[in-house]
Every structure is written in C-alpha cells, then in structure tokens.
Amino acid sequence: MMRRVLIALCVLLLPAGVLADDERGSAREAQAMVERAVALYETEGLLAFREYSRASAPDFRDRDFYVFVIDRAGTMAAHALFPEAVGQSAINARDPEGKFYVREMLERASETGVWVDYVFNDPILGFPVPKSSWVVLHDGFLFACGIYAGELGV
C-alpha cells in the first residue's frame, strides 16, 4: 500500500505538461475500445485476435491504452502493445506490490465488465504507476483495456 502511495505522489509531482490530457485515454474510451474489440470478435471470431495485435490497428491501440485478451487459463490470446506476449501464460503475473492481477481479473470478470486496479509500467512515463483495467468476460475470454495513473475519468 505504501508503495502505491509513493507512486501516486511521484505522478502528481511530475512537471506540468508531462501528463497532457490529450496523451491519456479516459475510462470511457477504454470501455469503448473493449466494446469495439468484442464486436470485432463477434464478427471475425478468433481472427480478430490477430487484428488487435497488429501494430497498425489504431482501433485497438491509442496513446497510452490498448486492448489485450486473456483466455480462461490465463494465457495471453492477443495484445495490442506487446504482441510478443501472445501465447504466454500470464496467470502468475504480479505487479510491484505483489498483486496477482491476472488472477484477480479471472476471478472478478463479468459480462457487464469490472475495473481491476494494479500497478503496471506506463508506456508514456516508462515506469510503474497505478493502472485500472476494464475487463469484460465474453465467450470464455477476458477482453480488457486499461488507463494509467488511476485516473478513472468517468
């Protein structure tokens, strides 16, 4: 808990302009991105996973947020930022505070969606900060997209 407080303080103390609003995705944008990912999956089936993981897929990767998909066994099925992670088990992934965040996603995910909080490396800042991921269970897969610095901007 103390580590999370220190990380949050570091983010708050960054010079003005480092975290410009137009560089950050909002909670609503993350939810909409997951909705688009589920819709493409409904149309294309498993072939949609390849589309999410393409570098030139702006519908699934924008600024600091991106879609990722995990199967019920905890294996990465698609990842828009780290396509090299596809096929790797994430079940034992832990954040810097020791939280097994993928396990929590698997336990809490629902068809209506849920926010899961953990600490993860921010692609803009380059160091771990609080992250909240919107996770939706659909057809046995977890479709997710997260926002950084705990900014649930709903």
pLDDT in tens, 35-92: 999 999 999 999 999 999 886 667 898 888 899 999 999 999 999 988 999 999 999 9
Instruction: Classify domain 2-8+22-148 at the CATH topology level.
Output: Beta-Lactamase (3.30.450)
pTM: 0.82
Residue 124 pLDDT = 81
Instruction: With beta carbons less than 8 A apart as the criterion, state whether 120 and 114 touch.
Output: no
Q: Please give the angle made by the CA atoms of 151, 22 and 118, to the nearest 5 degrees.
A: 25
